Structure 1
């Protein structure tokens, strides 16, 4: 703990003293996670001052390490020329991720100050959705014409070594006037005679993906093939970029984290505690305020059966258990459906298949859980009817909960509603209402045996 505190205090001192060399050394000597932790402990003014004291290369390195929301905030607060010089140092996919989050005026101003080639590339890539190959690919790769010789290429590599030093040079991509021809391994290039044209040593019929392929298709591709990256082409087979395995995994992880936040009612994607308090509060309240109305509906069931509840006060102990256990079972089903939807394993129209699969699990789990809570009620109160009431209510509610939990994400997806955001609250409301209704109705029917 001491080490962590010392780390960010040290960075704050370097900023206060405008020690540019010390900041450069700090970035070189510390691990990424330590830098992110220290940066997050700085106030907004210190964060902006830090970026202003860095070289463009160090600034780009910082933006690559910190969460994207923090990177966007930093660029928003930075002078246009400085922001442009830093973005020039980033990979194309990271440039687009940041520029796309800025308002139009800021984005336009920064693009005007960037290198023309970089700006043109961003304007082309920014039209792709973030969850397709075009939105994940990078445009930093080596591609040469098939009629060029090995000698010409090795000369180009030597002459442009500084430009290519950050490129992935495990493979060279061969094109014919922009059209993708194949892949050339660096080993084959180095071991071939200088006079040999690339067309003679290129690996043709190499696998590619389309720029419109969805993230789920890319995940499946890299699950099937152990490739470092894959070329991206358009409908005309023109080489546009490269999708790297690590970038697909990062995109998959980002999507999972966003869905996780949305299932908990945090609207707007990523949230960090370094964000403005009012923004964080607004994002959470946007769904919590709706949830109040849903909970009032559930509570109305209890109000309607208050006479029964007064007669069998022991039932009040089990009502939250019934609703909570059913909700947990349903949320497990929601999680599985969301995951299968994201992977493309299940489609929105497969409601009945998913329903049947979940009902089978629900019947088994419902009977087991109902028996456990029923036995607990019996041993506590010595009343078998109380055990039947709470056990039966939990058993039935569990079946309904998993059935709803498994199918509602598919239904919402089909209706063009975000299943991650809406599934949880709808499930909770339904299972609470049904759980209370079943327990109190059964208690009313068996009231003579319970009092």
Structure 2
């Protein structure tokens, strides 16, 4: 759809809701892609959004919620009456229900769960108890399971009787269980449908399929799907009984979502996703919660410059090199942070392995620090014709690079050891430290070499 068409789509939706033509609005939404739907709904004001959701069937509202980013979907559910929100949740798959309930305000979540049938509420609580980045938090509990002595004809007839129940599910496999209830094998739908009705499915299944436990990490799941061309993996409990299925698409979405979340945190967007359709004060306060502490950190770094005001006044060229040393060291430190966060995520290092990480980083820092220091020393000498200035700049660059890679490697380890998110706090801590250290080193070296840096 062209940009003009997209613009017309959300304006048409606004017009239809404004004239209370809800059937027309619902038909228009059905024609839109997921991205167009999210954009159109986000452009409606709050009253129009509420009116649109209230007029739709529970199934229609669920389809709309399913198309939206999670943060927007949660906002819509929180504004609904608990009974209405419960009806909408019942139209979603089990994993989607749990994901949304987990993100809801606690009081809102409890009110909605109280409106659900006890069995569904208990199922949502059980799934919501898992971390969202493990198999239990990603799995859906809707899957086809039959005993291995069932015939092909019995299974096919059962599927036909329950077609309404399965029509919205992406079903590719039938899971076959032994008499004990443990998973015995997996049967592709293609093999099921092309086999004679009299055969037992136990003779057609692929025995001993690959399974995962509910605590399997997101990275383990991603590796499995990268290695095997499976569309889904069964999740089993400690004794092998199937309890859910993890879909490849859900794992890929979770991996992408985690990367987006880490990027937002390092950029200073805390408290989850932010969209410009969210309330103004909420967006402002969330950003200020990150920006305000950074004022204090930057004042600390600036105080180092203030303490060497006379040196800078005597050698104005230092002001040119201060931000360069600060920025280059920050870049080196951020590279180390990225490696540490990634290795912690993959389990390649433990938070306690500080010495191992430091040794690995300091070796890189020695090489890169020397290279960067020589370059900066050459620039200073060539520009000002003063070898002592080059010595001060180059030495500061070299040492600050060592400091930055050391801190960049160790800060995520330390934060993780104390239960903090390394992606959230590493950046500002590193930036303040490398700024202070870089300013201090260059200005201290320059102060000691001042007689050689100023004309006699």
What TM-score does the superposition give when structure 1 sets the normalisation length? 0.94
> Once the 2 structures are TM-superposed, how far is the Cα of residue 115 of structure 1 from its aligned partner?
5.1
Does residue 209 in structure 1 map to residue 231 in structure 2? no
Q: Which residue of 2 aligns with 1:135?
A: 137
Aligned pairs (5 A) from 1:105-184: 105-114=107-116, 117-176=119-178, 178-184=181-187
Match of residue 100 from structure 1:
102
Q: Does 1:349 align with 2:342?
A: no
User: Of 285, 289, 301, which aligns to 1:298?
Assistant: 301
Q: Sort the Cα spacing of 1:418 and 1:4 in 2 relative to 1 into closer, same or farther, 3 A.
A: same
**CA offsets per residue over residues 62-112 of structure 1, 9 Å max, x none?**
212211111111011112333222212211111111122223443333334
Cα distance in 2 for residues equivalent to 1:42 and 1:388 = 61
| 1:308 pairs with one of 305, 311, 314 | 311
Once the two structures are TM-superposed, the CA of residue 162 in structure 1 deviates from its matched residue by 1.5
What do residues 246-282 of structure 1 show as CA deviations (whole Å, max 9, x unaligned)? 1112112222222222223332122222222222222
Determine whether 1:413 maps to 2:416: yes
Q: What is the correspondence of 1:281-430 to structure 2 with a 5 Å cutoff?
A: 281-430=284-433
* Deviation by residue 1:107-162 (Cα, 9 ceiling, x = unmatched): 33333444555334213322222122111101121111222221111110111112
Residues 334 and 406, structure 1, Cα contact 8 Å, conserved in 2: yes
Task: Give how far 1:440 is off.
Answer: 0.6
CA distance in 2, matches of 1:443, 1:378: 14
- Corresponding residue of 1:79: 81
Deviations 1:293-320 (A, max 9, x none): 2222222222222222221122112111
Supply the distance in 1 between the matched residues of 2:37 and 2:43 (Cα, whole angstroms): 10
- Give RMSD over aligned pairs: 2.0
1:298-344 alpha-carbon deviations (Å, 9 max, x no partner): 22222222222221122112111111111122112212221222223
Query: For the Cα contact (< 8 Å) 1:216–1:344, is it kept in 2?
Result: no
CA separation in 2, counterparts of 1:3 and 1:167? 31
Equivalent runs, 1:236-247 vs 2, <5 Å: 236-247=239-250
Does the 8 Å contact 1:138/1:241 carry over to 2?
A: yes
Q: 1:343 to 1:26 in 2, by over 3 A?
A: farther
Structure 1 residue 265 and structure 2 residue 292: aligned?
no
Supply the distance in 1 between the matched residues of 2:107 and 2:390 (Cα, whole angstroms): 66
SS of aligned partner of 2:103? coil
Quick one: distance in 1 between partners of 2:142 and 2:7? 38
Please say which of residues 321-330 and 348-357 is displaced more in the overlay: 348-357
* Greater Cα shift, 434-443 or 138-147: 138-147
Q: Does the CA contact (< 8 Å) of 1:81 and 1:110 recur in 2?
A: yes
12, 15, 25: which one pairs with 2:14? 12
Q: Secondary structure at the match of 1:243?
A: strand
Moved more, 83-92 or 339-348: 339-348
Deviation, 1:357, is 2.7
Decide whether aligned partners of structure 1 residues 196 and 117 sit closer, same or farther in structure 2, where only a CA change above 3 A counts. Answer: farther
Number of residue-to-residue matches in the alignment: 451
Could you tell me which of 433, 438, 441 is aligned with 1:438? 441
Distance in 2 of aligned mates of 1:226 and 1:341: 27
Rate the CA distance shift 1:108–1:434 in 2: closer, same or farther, 3 A: closer
The separation in 1 between residues aligned to 2:114 and 2:432, in whole angstroms, is 51
Distance 1:257 1:19 in 2: 37
| CA–CA separation in structure 2 for the residues paired with 1:370 and 1:40 | 50
SS of residue in 2 equivalent to 1:448: helix
Deviations 1:334-375 (A, max 9, x none): 122212222233332333333233223323322332233333
SS in 2 for 1:181: strand
Alpha-carbon distance in structure 1 between the residues aligned to 2:5 and 2:324: 44
* Whole-angstrom CA distance in 2 between matches of 1:190 and 1:7: 42
Q: Would you say 1:24 and 2:26 are equivalent positions? A: yes
SS in structure 2 at match of 1:209: coil
1:292 offset after TM fit, Å? 2.2
Q: Any idea what SS the aligned residue of 1:174 has?
A: strand
Which of the numbers 47, 50, 53 marks the counterpart of 1:51?
53
Measure how far apart 1:188 and its partner are: 2.5
